Structure 1
Amino acid sequence: MWIDIWDGRPFAGAKIALILGTEILVYRRDDRPDIPFPGLWDLPGGGRETDESPADCALRETHEEFGLIIEPERIVWQRRYPSWSGTGAAAYFCAAPLLPVEVEKIRFGSEGTDWTLMPVEWFIAHQQAVPHLQERVFDYLRSAENSPVQQ
């Protein structure tokens, strides 16, 4: 059973690892100089809007970016992290299982150039993945008894 750890403190945004077996849902960021991490592999999520909780933020972004509706109760892990830049508000990282039927329902949005299911180990080691998200996925796997979310 998922327990929301958010204590009401402000935060900048939230990302989510959606895992199907041993694969993770990723997308390649647009290759533009005006955004952080241009052209790198990224995870669903983004900036907080209004008074959203971390789960609400990550799941709204997942819907906007992939057309998927994930219920908050499916989140199996959540942790607060300091800002990746070393400045500003903290961010949250969540993990939830991705269902095979949801992969068929993906409708990729307007952010990024393409998406894929990538082996989790590849994402963690990939030279073109967002570095702080690689660390957070590794943290999740280590805390989840060294295994991805299973279906």
Structure 2
Amino acid sequence: MKQNTDNLSRTDINILEELQGDSRITVSELAERVSLSDSPCWRRWKKLEQDGYITGYHASLDRKKLGLQVVGFSQVRLSRHHPTDTEKFEDAVNELSWVITCFCIAGDADYIVQIVAYDLDQYYERVSELRKLPSVFSIQSSIGIKEVKNTHRLPI
């Protein structure tokens, strides 16, 4: 599949790559890394924001240091697939702070939901809460036992 970066210059891509690594970088540091002067670098950075390539900035937190020892993945099947049912489910999932990601998927399940919890008891409580959401028919869960890779960086 072709990358959707045709309208981006190599410099723009370099800016995006640098910002993925450190979004707290100063304009001067970024300009030096991408071989620009400060003003053109700042203008390109702002244009990438305006054009929607940069959707926000965040701090990466260490979930284990915060006590979130359990990561689980629950495949959710809905009993009904009417748009109002799927909207209600998706709206409800969006309100749950302990749901880290949720994707509508193809295959045996309708959604895959990533959940974090302090321990297995809390994970069970959270899956039980998922079961109560609109139109949920079944849930099949798997627990992560070793984190091999976890990144927010996109390959561009």
TM-score of Structure 1 vs Structure 2, range by shorter chain: under 0.3
Higher RCO (Cα < 8 Å, 6 or more apart):
1
| Normalised TM-score (structure 1) | 0.27
| Normalised TM-score (structure 2) | 0.27
Give the number of the structure whose residues are more often helix, by fraction. 2
